[in-house]
Amino acid sequence: MYLIEPSGWMGNANKQPSPNYNQRPNAADISLLVIHNISLPAGQFGGPYVHQLFTNCLDCEAHSSFDDLRGLNVSAHLFIDREGVLHQFVSFNDRAWHAGASQFDGRDNCNDFSIGIELEGADDVSYTDAQYRELIAVTESLQSYYPAITTARIVGHCDIAPGRKTDPGLAFDWTYYKNALG
């Protein structure tokens, strides 16, 4: 079990604070976990680009596919790279900007009440064993600290923004992940 500090930071995560967050309407209302994927450029892993995107340091001239990211202010609470290394960009006490236009269980604006975890990956590329191990450990810690995040309230970005988002994609093994949760 990982320590979550009262400040909302996970003790074992590499901390890289993002400016892309604001206050939650009700910090006690954390009740949803959203799983995403990201790779920059798309389908390429490693390198500094995801970190740069979440900290507003991305040079949009570095790759032709980055032009659409110009001026985009996004973040996630956590990012798990292909080696299973955990990075935190936003305190859980704050609202990260990961879900966009979204709805779950009749409620809009999922950023208000969710924690967003980005896995370095793509919809059609298998995730690594190290990522699943870290994601399971992180999820169990979050569920212990935020008991309203039940297994039924763990979803993909695709579930809260259908038609707009497809991540974490068909390559994500939901059955394995959810069965592994204590």
Amino acid at 140: E
Q: Are strands 114-120 and 78-80 parallel, antiparallel or unpaired?
A: parallel
Question: Count of alpha carbons within 13 Å of 83, Cβ hemisphere only?
Answer: 4
Sign of the CA dihedral running 92, 154, 81, 44 = negative
Q: What is the DSSP string of 43-54?
A: T--SSSHHHHHH
| Active-site residue, 140 included | no
In the three-class reduction of DSSP (H, G, I as helix; E, B as strand; rest coil), residue 37 is classed as: strand
Active-site choice (118, 120, 134, 140): 118
Residue 134 structure tokens:
């870290």
Q: Which residues are catalytic?
A: 118
